[in-house]
Structure 1
Amino acid sequence: MPNSNTSCKNCENQFDETFQFCPYCGQKSNDKLTVGVLFSNTIKNYFSVDARFFRSFFPLLLKPGYLASKFIEGKRLLYLHPAQLYLFSSIVFFFFFSFKVSKQEQQIREGVKSEKTLQQTIDSINTLNSNDSLVAATVIDKLKKNKDKTGLNDEELAKLDSIIKGENYKGDDFMSFGFNESKVDSLIAINAPDSLITKEMGRKENAGYFTKKTYTQVLKLYRDNGSLANILHSFYDTIPIALFFLLPIFAFILKILFYNKGPFAYHLVFAFYYFSYLFSTFIILLLISFIWPNFPGSIQWLVILSTFIYLCIAVKKFYDHGWLLSFIKSSLATFIYFTIVIPIAVLLLLTFAFLFY
């Protein structure tokens, strides 16, 4: 008796109803949706990815060049795809790194606020004559009692004490803008147009767009005590995007140094795995710093130095070179990347962050 056919609910192709799975798309033929099936499929998919991640993570850390070599050989389902591993590690890294950035931004905001308070107090005391020393001393005493509210630390209060002794101390500005701040403050106080204020700051009448934009941003920075932290935040936000362009540049450097070792895609695979290793290492360092705030800096530098040793070993195994040649080419790639490419990239990112924060 011939078997009857059934229709796949996913691809709608006909197949023998005795089949447990559709031969065209692989979906289970009688997969009724229940809560158990829903969570079972979810857990299976999760642990499938998770297993591939752990099969990739430990060789990534402990076997330099291993994953890249296996991927080139064609074993591409046992381990996470290099781009997938890079994306995962970079997302986790920048997630933890954001906590460090937030803390740094807060310190900058407090530093600028404290410096502003200090400079304003110094200016007001400097206007007093010698007969007003008692008044000035009273001001200092109140500031000391309320230093938690003012944000002034002991060192800054000591600077104010020096003024009472007759020194006309001007202080070390947190940021020096290079223009007459008193005149600019007066124009800001009367809500003068930005064009007039920037002209007082030194902008020429026939300045181009870039110059005008720069003066506008400097004025914005001068007005807002938190702008410096905003610039830093904008700078950090652009780093993940920039790395998508910087990583191929590193691969291109490798292509130049190992021009006869396969197409550009081979070097890109190596770069993906190496950058994944770097992110994984920095994630571990960040986690340790959260748990152990006094983690010795010397050990951190040793770990960072080990990333270069890792690169040398990975290059030797992946490109099948001798130790000396691997060391020389790894050094060249590192030197070119960190002394030319990275500084240029940082400069461009800082410029972008300043102009568009």
Structure 2
Amino acid sequence: MEDHISKCLNCESELKEKYEFCPNCGQKTTEDLTLGVLFYNTISNYFSFDARFLKGFLPLMFKPGFLPKKFIEGKRLLYLHPGQMYLFVAFVFFFIFSFTARKHTESLNTQLRKTLNDNTATLVDTVNIRESDSIRVADSIQKRKSDSIAKVKLRKALEDNKFLTGMTETEIDSIVATTNLNDKDLNFSFNEEKIDSLIQNNASDQEIYKAMGMDEDDGWFMRKIYAQALKFYKARDGGNILQAFYDTIPIALFFLLPIFALILKVLYYKRGRYAHHLVFSFYYFSFLFTVFSIIFGINMIWDIPDGLDWLIAFSTFIYLLIALKRFYGQGWFFSFFKGSVATFTFMLLVIPFAAVIIALVAFMFY
């Protein structure tokens, strides 16, 4: 009986249909792309990084949609596996980002300490303290400290989000200078004088928790909230919380990427399995991490103008549109519409929700 001849999807070499693997390149001849196959290949190939990354880097950056399309077509050994590429690029990005994160946390802590020391020294040097005025001066010092901490945090938040708000340094200075941060805005919900007195008298944490308002029947979560609130109240150390926030981001991305793929699945529900959309998301996020790695790397040497930041952000959206058109094969109108829906859904709903969760986790475990 004559053997039927077929072609390998990867190298396109002719082979007999009875062969389970291609004798030329070694790829399995019949392998449907499922979630199991995708993640098995991710794990098994993670430590086999080779020249395929270099071969796929230029297409990743300058040919949107090319790599996921080729992978779906069956060419899965010519280029680096999408999951492997994503893990490698994400590792590089967070390594570079760690320097920026450390700089932010150290700057915040240093500025807080400097502000507190400067304000205390100024008050002590300029005010002629009399015995009858000691309580008033102490209250004034505490108020100045709290006001300074709040303004430092306000400035830090505005400066970190200049890219999103478009504010200039002059506008930020004006907002910080004119913002009235009174005692009501800054106080904790508990009696601070009582808590300070308990701390000075070396009271146990359980006593302090009760003074803060914790009930005896509160569960683990609420007890943890009170414990972290007391920890923050004692240290007033925003830098550690910020660092914990940064440290949690890589973990969160392992959940955000599948959500982005799910959004694509909803928008393109007739265009393949969920695993196909996940392949596209792996490559697209790899592109984003590569771009951000370059940007953060340059910013470590030279501060990029805000206008260029906006241009780069817009270029990643254009990249997404081209990639969607090439990968899913629809026209420009549908690609623009679905790309806009996916972007706004992810940016305005998913990421803000994730940021709240990350902030809560950072506060709970810093």
TM > 0.5 fold call: yes
In 2: Cα distance, 1:85 partner to 1:62 partner: 16
In 1: Cα distance, 2:288 partner to 2:339 partner: 15
Q: For residue 129 of structure 2, what is the aligned residue in structure 1? A: 128
In 1: Cα distance, 2:283 partner to 2:70 partner: 11
In 2: Cα distance, 1:202 partner to 1:126 partner: 36
Specify which of 260, 274, 278 is matched with residue 250 of structure 1.
260
In 1: Cα distance, 2:118 partner to 2:217 partner: 37
Task: Render the CA deviation track for 1:144-177: whole Å, top value 9, x for unaligned.
Answer: xxxxxxxx9xxxxxxxxxxxxxxxx998899653
1:276 aligns with 2:277: no
Q: For residue 105 of structure 2, what is the aligned residue in structure 1? A: 105
CA contact (8 A) 1:109 1:229 kept: yes
1:321 aligns with 2:330: yes
CA contact (8 A) 1:119 1:170 kept: no
Q: For residue 238 of structure 1, what is the aligned residue in structure 2? A: 248
Task: Render the CA deviation track for 1:171-206: whole Å, top value 9, x for unaligned.
Answer: 889965344333322211111111222233333454
Q: CA deviation at 1:309?
A: 0.9
Amino acid across the alignment from 2:191:
N
Amino acid across the alignment from 1:128:
I
Kindly report which structure 2 residues correspond to 1:281-300, keeping only aligned pairs within 5 A, or say none: 281-293=291-303, 295-300=304-309
In 1: Cα distance, 2:291 partner to 2:321 partner: 16
Cα distance change of structure 1 residues 244 and 225 upon mapping to structure 2, 3 Å threshold: same
Q: CA deviation at 1:299?
A: 0.2
Q: Secondary structure of the residue that 2:214 maps to in structure 1?
A: coil
CA contact (8 A) 1:108 1:229 kept: yes
In 1: Cα distance, 2:128 partner to 2:82 partner: 65
**Unmatched tracts of structure 1, length 5 or more:** 1-22, 27-47, 137-151, 153-168
In 1: Cα distance, 2:50 partner to 2:280 partner: 22
Q: CA deviation at 1:351?
A: 0.9
Q: CA deviation at 1:336?
A: 1.1
Q: CA deviation at 1:86?
A: 0.3
Cα distance change of structure 1 residues 230 and 206 upon mapping to structure 2, 3 Å threshold: same
CA contact (8 A) 1:251 1:267 kept: yes
1:311 aligns with 2:320: yes
Q: For residue 69 of structure 1, what is the aligned residue in structure 2? A: 69
Number of residues paired by the alignment? Answer: 278
- The percent of aligned pairs where both chains have the same amino acid is 51
**Unmatched tracts of structure 2, length 5 or more:** 1-22, 27-47, 138-151, 153-179
Cα distance change of structure 1 residues 59 and 174 upon mapping to structure 2, 3 Å threshold: farther
Query: Radius of gyration: which is bigger?
Result: 1
In 1: Cα distance, 2:327 partner to 2:83 partner: 18
CA contact (8 A) 2:93 2:290 kept: yes
Task: Render the CA deviation track for 1:242-261: whole Å, top value 9, x for unaligned.
Answer: 11111111111101100010
Cα distance change of structure 1 residues 121 and 200 upon mapping to structure 2, 3 Å threshold: farther
Amino acid across the alignment from 1:272:
F
Q: For residue 233 of structure 2, what is the aligned residue in structure 1? A: 222
Amino acid across the alignment from 2:85:
L
CA contact (8 A) 1:250 1:271 kept: yes
In 2: Cα distance, 1:191 partner to 1:131 partner: 28
Kindly report which structure 2 residues correspond to 1:1-357, keeping only aligned pairs within 5 A, or say none: 49-118=49-118, 120-121=120-121, 128-129=129-130, 176-226=187-237, 228-293=238-303, 295-357=304-366
Q: For residue 42 of structure 2, what is the aligned residue in structure 1? A: none
In 2: Cα distance, 1:245 partner to 1:90 partner: 14
In 2: Cα distance, 1:113 partner to 1:180 partner: 24
Amino acid across the alignment from 2:355:
V
Cα distance change of structure 1 residues 176 and 301 upon mapping to structure 2, 3 Å threshold: farther
In 2: Cα distance, 1:208 partner to 1:49 partner: 47
Task: Render the CA deviation track for 1:199-218: whole Å, top value 9, x for unaligned.
Answer: 33333454443222211111
Q: Secondary structure of the residue that 2:270 maps to in structure 1?
A: coil
Cα distance change of structure 1 residues 339 and 170 upon mapping to structure 2, 3 Å threshold: closer
CA contact (8 A) 2:65 2:327 kept: yes
With structure 2 as the length reference, what TM-score do the two structures score? 0.69
Cα distance change of structure 1 residues 53 and 285 upon mapping to structure 2, 3 Å threshold: same
Q: Secondary structure of the residue that 2:78 maps to in structure 1?
A: coil
In 1: Cα distance, 2:190 partner to 2:115 partner: 18
Q: CA deviation at 1:240?
A: 1.2
Q: Secondary structure of the residue that 1:291 maps to in structure 2?
A: coil
In 2: Cα distance, 1:172 partner to 1:351 partner: 25
